[in-house]
C-alpha cells in the first residue's frame, strides 16, 4: 500500500470518532484533508449533521467548496472533538505541529475541544521530538531580535520561514521561526513554557497533553492508538 493510500484510509477512519450532532474542529494538512472530504460525503449522502470550525483559511476554503456547514470558534459553545494532523508524535502522545503555519489557530481550536484526534502517517511517530524543526509563531515587530532570543534559548539554529523571497505570513499576520533542535526535546512542556516567556513569541508548535487518539497510516493500513488515561480511552 502506498503512503498516500494509507493516509487516505487513516483520514477516513478518523471519521469513526464523529457522531451525529457534533461540532468539530477541522484541522489542516494532507492527511486530515481526506477526513474533511469524507465528512462532507457523509453529510451530503448520509445526512450526517455536523458543524465544523476550521483551523486555517485553507481548511475553510476546502470545507466551503465541499458544502460542509461551518461556524466560527467564538460562535459555538464548545467543540466535541478536533481532528487534525501532526508533524511529529512521540510515545507520550505529545506533538509538534505547525508545518502548515497554522499552529496558533490549531492550538486555539484544540484547547477548546473535548478531545483531540490526530491523523498522520507512521513516519511522524518518533521516540523524541525535534527532528522536525519546531515551528514558533512570532510577531513581525523586531523579528530579528526574537529570532536571536529563540536561538540563544534553545542553543540551536533558528531560521525565518520564507515564502519565496519574502518572509512567510501566517493567517494571523505573523511570521514563523523554525528551531532546528534535532531530536532533543525530552521535556517538551518545559521548552514550551520557556519559549512563551519571550515577549515576541505568539505561540509554540508543541501540543502538550492534548492528543487522545492517533490514527496512524502505515503499509498495512490505519492503526488506532489511544493515549492511556486520555479523554477517549
- Residue 9 dihedral angles phi and psi, to the nearest 5°: -65, -40
CB-side exposure of 129: number of CA atoms within 13 Å?
27
CA–CA gap between residue 54 and residue 148 (Å, rounded): 32
Asked about 106 being catalytic, the answer comes back as yes
Catalytic one of 17, 38, 106, 192: 106
205: helix, strand or coil: coil
Give the whole-angstrom CA distance, residue 33 versus residue 175.
24
Q: Name the strand (E) or helix (H) holding 225.
A: strand 221-226
DSSP string covering 92-157: T--EE--TTS-HHHHHHHHHTBS-EEEEEEGGGB-SSBTSSPEEEEE-STTHHHHHHHHHHHHTSE
Q: C-alpha grid cell for residue 63? A: 470545507
Active site members: 106
Amino acid at each position: 500500500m502506498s503512503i498516500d493510500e494509507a493516509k487516505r484510509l487513516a483520514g477516513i477512519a478518523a471519521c469513526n470518532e464523529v457522531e451525529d450532532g457534533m461540532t468539530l474542529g477541522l484541522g489542516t494538512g494532507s492527511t486530515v484533508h481526506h477526513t474533511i472530504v469524507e465528512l462532507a460525503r457523509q453529510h451530503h449522502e448520509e445526512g450526517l449533521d455536523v458543524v465544523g470550525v476550521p483551523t486555517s483559511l485553507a481548511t475553510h476554503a476546502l470545507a466551503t467548496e465541499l458544502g460542509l456547514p461551518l461556524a466560527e470558534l467564538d460562535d459555538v459553545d464548545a467543540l466535541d472533538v478536533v481532528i487534525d494532523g501532526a508533524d511529529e508524535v512521540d510515545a507520550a502522545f505529545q506533538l509538534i505541529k505547525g508545518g502548515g503555519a497554522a499552529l496558533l489557530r490549531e492550538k486555539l481550536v484544540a484547547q477548546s475541544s473535548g478531545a483531540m484526534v490526530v491523523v498522520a502517517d507512521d513516519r511522524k511517530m518518533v521516540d523524541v521530538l525535534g527532528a522536525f524543526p519546531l515551528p514558533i509563531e512570532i510577531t513581525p515587530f523586531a523579528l530579528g531580535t526574537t529570532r536571536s532570543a529563540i536561538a540563544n534559548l534553545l542553543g540551536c539554529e533558528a531560521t525565518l520561514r520564507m515564502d519565496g523571497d519574502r518572509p512567510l505570513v501566517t493567517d494571523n499576520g505573523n511570521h514563523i521561526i523554525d528551531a532546528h533542535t534535532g531530536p532533543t526535546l525530552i521535556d517538551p512542556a518545559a521548552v514550551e513554557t520557556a519559549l512563551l516567556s519571550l515577549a515576541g513569541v505568539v505561540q509554540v508548535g508543541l501540543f502538550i497533553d492534548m492528543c487522545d487518539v492517533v490514527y496512524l497510516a502505515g503499509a498495512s493500513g490505519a492503526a488506532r492508538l489511544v493515549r492511556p488515561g486520555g479523554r477517549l480511552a
